[in-house]
Amino acid sequence: MSEKREVNKLPYILTALGTLFLTMGMLHFYGYLNFANEEEGLLVAEFSLVTVGSEEAGQLRSKTPNHVAECVDGVLILHNTRHNGLSGLLVDERQRVVRCNEQTVPVAQ
């Protein structure tokens, strides 16, 4: 009769864990793995809603702001034109993401 020799699984487990930790360390070192803190989510600007036909709508300034909005995958993204690369999600006061429809507005002729 042949007896099967039991394989020691401890080296396999240690190799797998070591590979996992080494991979995570290398990804973090090269900047592919980022851990975001709540302190890093800075308030860039505050926005308010002006409804169409209200008295406030007639008092708007003609100077253009430093922000440009873009609809990406149904989420409204704001880009800052003064600081290149600074962009973020538009959220409400309860930190909910503002959604948008990717529809084009007809041009007035």
pLDDT tens per residue, range 57-71: 556 666 777 778 888
Q: Which amino acid is at 51?
A: T
Question: What pLDDT shows up at residue 67?
Answer: 78
Compute the distance between CA of residue 74 and CA of residue 89 in angstroms, rounded to an integer: 11
Compute the distance between CA of residue 89 and CA of residue 78 in angstroms, rounded to an integer: 6
Cβ atoms 80, 66 nearer than 8 A? yes
Q: What is the mean pLDDT of residues 72-89?
A: 77
Asked whether residue 84 carries a pLDDT value surpassing 60, the answer given is: yes
Question: What pLDDT shows up at residue 23?
Answer: 96
Q: Please state, rounded to an integer, the average pLDDT across all residues of the chain.
A: 76
**pLDDT class for 20, splitting at 50, 70, 90?**
very high
Question: What pLDDT shows up at residue 77?
Answer: 81
Four-point Cα dihedral 27, 32, 35, 39, nearest 10: 140
Could you tell me which of 108, 64, 97 has the C-alpha nearest to residue 82? 64
Distance of alpha carbon 30 from its chain centroid, rounded?
A: 20
Cβ atoms 51, 57 nearer than 8 A? yes
Share of the chain above pLDDT 90, in %: 18
**pLDDT class for 80, splitting at 50, 70, 90?**
confident
Q: Which amino acid is at 64?
A: T
Asked whether residue 24 carries a pLDDT value surpassing 90, the answer given is: yes
Compute the distance between CA of residue 39 and CA of residue 97 in angstroms, rounded to an integer: 18
| Domain ranges for the chain | 8-34, 64-97
